[in-house]
């Protein structure tokens, strides 16, 4: 295979586990309230995007071992909250770019996909890796809509990517069925439940070496995307939010030791139920 | 469009695994999850995509509607499926497409993009009224439910995985309206794969059928803790599952995962050991008859969403419980 450029689109999301039930009740009062409720929560990589970023690094490493030229670019459709994450990615060897959407795209998969496709054309990337799903919309549509906009085929649920002669060997999943295939770029790979899920940590030396590197900032106009027009054509519109009541009795089982607690749990709650199974 | 009758197409991708369950999901949704205002009898047709001629009759019997259009297609080609369905929609064939099967989301996305229609995935229920399809689905990692409207047609939707357990008896007889074949070169899109290989059979999980389930979370503390809980589960005669963080830390195999990206269980009794209770995990156990949470954190979401709570070290309590259950069940 000749030189290969790999693009990875990623998103930083609020750490939803840091929110309390009261925060979610407030978020459910309306689409705009959702953004307000999560605005001050710390940001983390979307888990599927983090796996995609590490898979791309491993693919680069494997190709480099074989003497194959590979370049990496990571981009996010996001505000400045993505900058610290882009700095980390630059220290790991990625070029970094950010597309400033100037609009709330939390529930706008088609507009997001249009920007992702346009950014991929602008920045280059025969292989585009994206996380399978990303909150808060969680539709899983962005990789497929981006593939459609780019005129590329795509694979779902990707869990591993390896070099194979002049192509790529991809492990993926369609439903519950694990599959493996040899593919030829250009393509879009939607990364799913990869075991490689944590991004490596850059060394201090790498951080210092890249600290002055500038993140490329793009506007939708730079990419030829009219965001208000795209938003007006979104294939679905969020009109309301509801909380989910999962509450149960929550009876605390008391005991002076784990053995006593286990005994009380068995006698008061489990014995009769297990008898019926 | 009040009073107008949207034509409904159920799209069953039977080129891959689990065709029967996806057929049941489509049938269950048509029966229980889709409403019209004003009411009208739904006249739906199933587009059944299949790969092997030898499987045609068996798969036809699964079709959830009496009317069926059979399409033989190469496997793993959602672009071809979308192209065929776009032609069907353009000819006025249907205004609502409900997708079932492993490639449903990609097919729905590509069909909506090509036909200018609306698209939504993971639909819990839907109401067609006043010219729009109003749907509910989980958002924000299962913390909330969002209500969405689709206006542009065709409406293309995929279903929440909960519909896989809907239970549905297909009609005894089917009428095949059309039978066609799609070829690799029917699409202008480049061919992606030349050698798709199924490298292990689809998992038939014991977790879905389990009546007594023990689930280990990150609170187990590491691989050793997870293995001790698995041993305790085995001694009690319970199935054993884990949360996503446990799989991500490689403390257990991925096929043990419970939750949105794993298995959705429905046991009579479920003991959750050392999990904070992330909503994406809770979705996997919320249908349990009785849930016990064992964890040191009394403020965890899991403690608030269990029937009984033990506030102590998960591994120690599970081993003590296994001693009791194993002795009592002898």
Q: Which tens digits make up the pLDDT trace of B32-69?
A: 999 987 666 567 999 999 999 999 999 999 999 999 99
Partner residue facing B310 (CB), from A135, A198, A261: A261
Partner residue facing B310 (CB), from A151, A239, A253: A253
Q: Give the whole-angstrom CA distance, residue B264 versus residue B261.
A: 9
Please tell me the predicted confidence (pLDDT) of residue B201. 52
Q: Residue A113's CB: how many other CB atoms inside 10 A? A: 26
Could you give the 3-state DSSP secondary structure of residue A17? helix
Q: Residue B298's CB: how many other CB atoms inside 10 A? A: 12
Q: Looking up tokens 């597309």, which residue turns up?
A: A99
Spatial neighbors of B50 by CB under 8 A, at least 6 apart, are B14, B15, B56, B59, B70, B71, B72, B73
Q: Give the whole-angstrom CA distance, residue B62 versus residue B328.
A: 44
For residue B317, how far is the Cα from the chain centroid?
Answer: 33
Residue B140 gets the label, from left (phi > 0), alpha (psi -120 to 50) or beta, of: left
Query: How does strand B155-159 pair with strand A43-45?
Result: unpaired
Which residues of chain A have a pLDDT value below 50? none
Please tell me the predicted confidence (pLDDT) of residue B79. 85
ipTM exceeding 0.85, yes/no: yes
Please tell me the predicted confidence (pLDDT) of residue B200. 61
Q: Looking up tokens 């069907």, which residue turns up?
A: B88
B250-279 residues touching A, CB cutoff 8 A: 250, 254, 257, 261, 268-269, 276, 278-279
Can you read off the two tokens belonging to residue B125? 């229920």
Over residues B76-90, the mean pLDDT reads: 89
Angle at CA of residue A69, ends A145 and A45, nearest 5°? 45
**Do the beta carbons of residue B313 and residue B319 sit within 8 Å?**
no
Spatial neighbors of B231 by CB under 8 A, at least 6 apart, are B322
Per-residue exposure over B77-106, b if at least 16 CB sit within 10 Å of its own CB, e if not: bbbbbbbbbbebbeeebbbbbbbbbbbbbb
* More confident position, B300 or B177: B177
Query: Does the pLDDT value for residue B110 go beyond 80?
Result: yes
Tell me phi and psi for residue A216, to 5 degrees: -70, 125
Q: Give the whole-angstrom CA distance, residue A181 versus residue B97.
A: 29
B143 touches chain A (CB under 8 A): yes
Contact A175 B18 (CB under 8 A): yes
- Give the helix/strand (H/E) hosting B281: helix B279-285
Contact A237 B148 (CB under 8 A): yes
Please tell me the predicted confidence (pLDDT) of residue A52. 96
Please tell me the predicted confidence (pLDDT) of residue B40. 63
Least reliable range by pLDDT among A6-15, B182-191, B221-230 = B182-191
Please tell me the predicted confidence (pLDDT) of residue A178. 83
pTM tops 0.80: yes
CA-nearest of A186, A169, A185 to B195 is A169
* More confident position, B303 or A53: A53
* More confident position, B193 or A213: A213
Cα dihedral B111, B156, A150, A232 sign? positive
Q: Looking up tokens 């739906």, which residue turns up?
A: B44
Q: Give the whole-angstrom CA distance, residue B6 versus residue B8.
A: 6
A contact test, residue of B117, B192, B284 with most A CBs within 10 A:
B192
**Do the beta carbons of residue B282 and residue B306 sit within 8 Å?**
no
Query: Does the pLDDT value for residue B2 go beyond 50?
Result: no
Question: Which residue in chain A is spatially nearest to B161 when comparing CA positions?
Answer: A175
Q: Residue B250's CB: how many other CB atoms inside 10 A? A: 12
Question: Which residue in chain B is spatially nearest to A276 when comparing CA positions?
Answer: B268
- Give the helix/strand (H/E) hosting B132: strand B132-139
B200 contact residues in A (CB cutoff 8 A): 178
A273 contact residues in B (CB cutoff 8 A): 268-269, 289-290
Q: How confident is the model at residue B3 (pLDDT cuts 50, 70, 90)?
A: very low
Question: Which residue in chain A is spatially nearest to B121 when comparing CA positions?
Answer: A139
Over residues B78-96, the mean pLDDT reads: 90
Query: Does the pLDDT value for residue B77 go beyond 70?
Result: yes
**Do the beta carbons of residue B64 and residue B46 sit within 8 Å?**
yes
Please tell me the predicted confidence (pLDDT) of residue B1. 42
Query: Does the pLDDT value for residue B248 go beyond 70?
Result: yes
Rounded to a whole number of angstroms, the distance from the CA of B135 to the nearest CA of chain A is 9
Q: How confident is the model at residue B223 (pLDDT cuts 50, 70, 90)?
A: very high
């Amino acid at each position: 295979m000749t030189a290969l450029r790999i693009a990875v689109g990623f998103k930083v999301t609020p750490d939803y586990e840091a929110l309390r039930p009261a925060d979610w009740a407030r978020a459910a009062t309306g689409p705009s309230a959702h953004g307000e409720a999560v605005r001050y929560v710390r940001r983390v990589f979307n888990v599927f995007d983090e796996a995609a970023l590490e898979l791309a690094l491993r693919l680069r490493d494997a190709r480099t071992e074989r003497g194959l030229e590979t370049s990496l670019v990571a981009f996010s459709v996001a505000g400045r909250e993505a900058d610290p994450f882009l700095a980390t990615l630059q220290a790991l060897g990625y070029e970094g770019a950010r597309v400033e959407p100037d609009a709330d795209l939390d529930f706008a998969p088609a507009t997001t996909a249009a920007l992702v496709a346009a950014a991929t054309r602008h920045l280059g990337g025969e292989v585009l890796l994206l996380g399978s799903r990303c909150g808060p919309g969680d539709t899983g549509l962005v990789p497929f809509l981006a593939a459609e906009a780019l005129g590329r085929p795509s694979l779902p649920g990707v869990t591993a990517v390896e070099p194979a002669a002049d192509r790529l060997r991809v492990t993926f999943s369609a439903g519950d069925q694990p599959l493996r295939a040899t593919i030829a770029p250009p393509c879009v790979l939607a990364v799913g439940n990869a075991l490689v899920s944590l991004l490596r940590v850059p060394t201090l030396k790498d951080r210092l070496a890249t600290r002055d590197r500038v993140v490329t900032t793009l506007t939708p106009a730079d990419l030829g995307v009219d965001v208000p027009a795209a938003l007006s054509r979104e294939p679905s519109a969020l009109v309301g939010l509801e909380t989910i009541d999962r509450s149960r009795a929550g009876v605390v089982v008391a005991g002076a030791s784990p053995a006593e607690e286990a005994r009380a749990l068995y006698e008061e709650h489990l014995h009769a139920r297990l008898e019926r199974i | 469009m009040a009073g107008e009758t949207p034509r409904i197409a159920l799209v069953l991708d039977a080129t891959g695994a689990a065709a029967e369950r996806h057929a049941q999901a489509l049938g269950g949704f048509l029966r229980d999850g889709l409403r019209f205002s004003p009411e009208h009898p739904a006249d739906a047709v199933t587009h059944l995509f299949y790969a092997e001629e030898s499987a045609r009759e068996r798969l036809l019997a699964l079709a959830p509607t009496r009317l069926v259009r059979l399409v033989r297609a190469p496997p793993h080609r959602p672009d071809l499926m979308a192209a065929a369905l776009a032609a069907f929609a353009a000819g006025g064939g249907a205004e609502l497409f409900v997708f079932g099967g492993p490639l449903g989301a990609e097919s729905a996305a590509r069909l909506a993009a090509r036909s200018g229609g609306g698209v939504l995935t993971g639909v819990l229920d839907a109401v067609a009224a006043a010219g729009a399809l109003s749907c509910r689905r989980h958002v924000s990692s299962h913390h909330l439910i969002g209500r969405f409207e689709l206006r542009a047609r065709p409406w293309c939707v995929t279903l929440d995985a909960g519909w896989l357990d809907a239970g549905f008896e297909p009609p005894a007889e089917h009428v095949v309206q059309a039978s066609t074949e799609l070829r690799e070169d029917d699409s202008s899109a480049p061919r992606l794969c030349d050698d798709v290989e199924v490298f292990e059979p689809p998992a038939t999980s014991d977790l879905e059928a389990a009546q007594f389930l023990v689930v280990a979370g990150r609170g187990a503390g590491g691989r050793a803790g997870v293995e001790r809980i698995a041993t305790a589960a085995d001694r009690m005669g319970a199935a054993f599952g884990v949360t996503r963080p446990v799989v991500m830390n490689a403390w257990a195999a991925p096929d043990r995962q419970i939750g949105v990206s794993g298995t959705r269980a429905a046991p009579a009794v479920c003991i959750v050991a050392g999990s904070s209770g992330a909503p994406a995990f809770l979705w996997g156990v919320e249908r349990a008859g009785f849930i016990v949470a064992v964890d040191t954190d009394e403020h965890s979401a899991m403690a608030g969403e269990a029937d009984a709570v033990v506030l102590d070290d998960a591994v120690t309590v599970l081993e003590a419980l296994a001693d009791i259950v194993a002795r009592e069940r002898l």
